[in-house]
Structure 1
């Protein structure tokens, strides 16, 4: 055990302890212990695992603080892993020197505008637990290549960049769990570019990750922001999180911007399930994606739309509640869902309940459920209430089935159209639905007799 005080660190928040802590990392016997105190550093502490061997850094139950007063990361975990996670690809020196570096039970606070928390590069099994990172730019910044990243039980709070940023990296197997990720200006968790497989976000509180608390020029952000216009992301889950915010211009709780490479969609094989997702301009925005399943979520209190899906295929929207709660910004309602230029999607078993009062952004939509220029869509078993200006609106859709849905207006003295679908042709079907009488359907749909008005 290497106590940094034995290498000359003072921990008084005044003396520069950079050299002492770096000396403990470079020449100590493995575990680097940082006792209670405030340790001022002015340069990154580089943990070069290939050079110094296995290392862990511990802050004695969170009573130690690192004050990063210089540019760059407070800790830079650096290794040389260049292959996959397949055991056959590992060199002996990786298991001997480089596997599973840990940073635990430590606070990192930035006092320099270009300070970061922790950077990870070419590391196998980096593990962060019980770490508080605040007032830096990016909290955790993963670059280049990494495998089996674990971030658990951390607090990543009030930073000017991204809370947890996977930046154009080749990454397989990462889990972000049981953490608070809040008030980060450019997003809570962000995946940008690179090649990413097996990525899981579970059991976190991810909220207020936008510009509002900083009072600066507005920038589009999201609690979870996946932008792979120049990459590929597959195999992931977003499960059992609270994901909420205050509205920001063009902001979203979850935003997925996929990519097309020679016609192939590069985002998919993901599930979004059992989350509470509320209070942004858009709750979930998905574009250019293939194979995403949403189920068991509660979405609501979005300024413009609860769910927006564009240019995507094989999207499954299962049993979700698109609702509202008057205790939360009670001027807003469930703003429903919109699919644009999509095909081969299934929407079923959800409740979509608009508020009983008028919707202030009604010009932004034509119905609580909208499908525009879509094909081979199946819409079954929805309950849609109090839509404005209609319950459901379909335009330019072919080979689309709408069956077993209840679309009603329960407001006193108000009867908006249940369904607007005036251009449906013989490739479409409307069957076994319960609708209000105020409905605008094409002649082809009106000829179908098994709709109760």
Structure 2
């Protein structure tokens, strides 16, 4: 290279090297500052800044699983701000209270490497706010925005070591957010009561607790999202709502299973109970979840919705969609409800009915798959099927049922039922059993009983009608007769087609 070129090229290269060296120095300085803030040890020369980040080790926490770290953790929380739990096992012997009006904004951060061991009664952490308004921004006081909004728990593990130990609790909070947190071996993993608004639970594991995974107990709560969580093996129920006033609950993308025990009182993976509520529970979506187990628990259900409140009103506005539901006594129970939509789910493995609807109205059951697959026969004897009892003004459209160990669809003491476009691919009993039903329609269904036999050895009818009136039964294709008892009246049959039974599948 000539001297001329070296003179022209060298200065720009030198300048680029100096720029790169300067950027590297700034980056290393930033890392050093971050390390000083997040990983510093206690020092009289560098006290924590108000509202900044705190390391609980600076307040005397040891994190060896033996020392009582309660006072140190409480002191760090009382200071407010972001509270860092470095890797370790932090033993608590009483509840750490997070008084948001006094502490200001608080975040508890564990990064997945910190364990809190609760060795006393009550929750490990209780968040207490002062929000008494609604979700309407105009009802939120300035001090709630300035000190209390969005308290956060992220990346902690909480383990109970006391028979009354619980995980987390929230009272009068606004935008309480719990993410990437694991709670196990407690009484209740997470409890909300009195009043809360705009809650988010995301990417959490509530596992193997003696009571409930998520307990909404006598709480006035609007807007709660439970997303992407694993809620399993909690013996008192998975997501449980009792008493209070609940609106706008969304459960989506979760795995919820085996939240019941063989010797525990009957419960459900999702239990919503309005019986002790004066206002009922409504505006609920349960979508895109796998919900299952255990058929061995008496009275078990995957979703149980009890819609009648203490004043006798019926509640609902409930959507159950795109879930996989299996291996319980009943997959879904809807009792005393109105305004319910059930569509796009896959049901199997119910010891009794897959779907039971009682004392309800305005229930729509759209295309769903009910398949008692023989691949799971070793798990137990599954009956399956759909039963409506004392209900009115309901629609069943596009249901597909196969291999039920009894009637596939049962309507009892119902009025205003519209059953259209359903398929039954084998049932041990009538494909459709109609008892004391009035003003209803059964049309355009494909109903096959296959090789089923009644108790006396005779083949069952495809449709059995008893004690009913004002029915329209038209345009169905069946492999057995349509039987209408003499005590039924005003039953109009037309354009139904009888076909020979097909051979049993191998």
**TM-score, scaled relative to structure 2:** 0.84
- Give the secondary-structure state (helix, strand or coil) at the position aligned to 2:376: coil
Q: Give the Å deviation of 1:351.
A: 0.2
Q: Quote how far apart the aligned CAs of 1:333 are.
A: 4.2
Question: How many correspondences in the alignment?
Answer: 436
Offset of 1:261 from its aligned partner?
5.5
Give me the whole-angstrom Cα distance separating, in 2, the residues matched to 1:329 and 1:125: 46
Report the counterpart of residue 474 of structure 2 in structure 1.
431
The residue number in structure 1 matching 2:495 is 450
Cα deviation, 1:148-168, whole Å, max 9, x if unaligned, reads 000000000000000001001
Q: Write the distance in 1 (CA, Å) between the matches of 2:135 and 2:232.
A: 31
User: Which one of the candidate residues 50, 56, 59 is aligned to 2:101?
Assistant: 50
Query: Where does 1:8-23 land on structure 2 (aligned, <5 Å)?
Result: 8-23=60-75
**Structure 2 stretches of 5 or more lacking a match?**
1-52, 499-506
Native 8 Å contact 1:323 1:334 kept in 2: no
Could you tell me how far apart the structure 2 residues matched to 1:445 and 1:336 are? 27
- Residue 62 of structure 1 aligns with which residue? 112
Larger Rg: 2
Q: CA deviation at 1:398?
A: 0.6
Q: Distance in 2 between matches of 1:341 and 1:17?
A: 58
Selected match of 1:286 from 328, 334, 354: 334
State the distance in 2 between where 1:48 and 1:301 align. 47
TM superposition score normalised by structure 1? 0.93
Say yes or no: does 1:111 pair with 2:161: yes
Residues 1:322 and 2:370 aligned together? yes
Which residue of the other structure, out of 304, 327, 335, is the alignment partner of 2:384? 335
Q: Does the alignment pair 1:25 with 2:69?
A: no
Contact 2:429–2:449 (Cα < 8 Å) also in 1? no
1:376-427 Cα offsets, whole Å, 9 max, x none, are 11000010122222211111111011111111123388832211103232x2
**In structure 2, do the counterparts of structure 1 residues 334 and 317 end up closer, same or farther at CA, with 3 Å as the change threshold?**
farther
Query: What do residues 283-319 of structure 1 show as CA deviations (whole Å, max 9, x unaligned)?
Result: 0001010101000000111001100000000000000
Contact 1:56/1:102 (CA < 8 Å) preserved in 2? yes
- Deviations along 1:85-144, one digit per CA (max 9) or x if unpaired, are 111111110001111000000100000000000001100000000000000000010000
> How far has the Cα of 1:277 moved from its partner?
0.4
Q: 1:259 to 1:412 in 2, by over 3 A?
A: closer
Larger RCO (alpha carbons 8 Å, 6+ apart): 1
1:126 alignment partner in structure 2: 176
Show the counterpart of 2:34: none
Structure 2 distance, partners of 1:260, 1:31, is 42
Q: Which runs of 5+ in 1 are unaligned?
A: none
Which deviates more, 155-164 or 253-262? 253-262
User: Out of 451, 464, 480, which is 1:411 matched to?
Assistant: 451
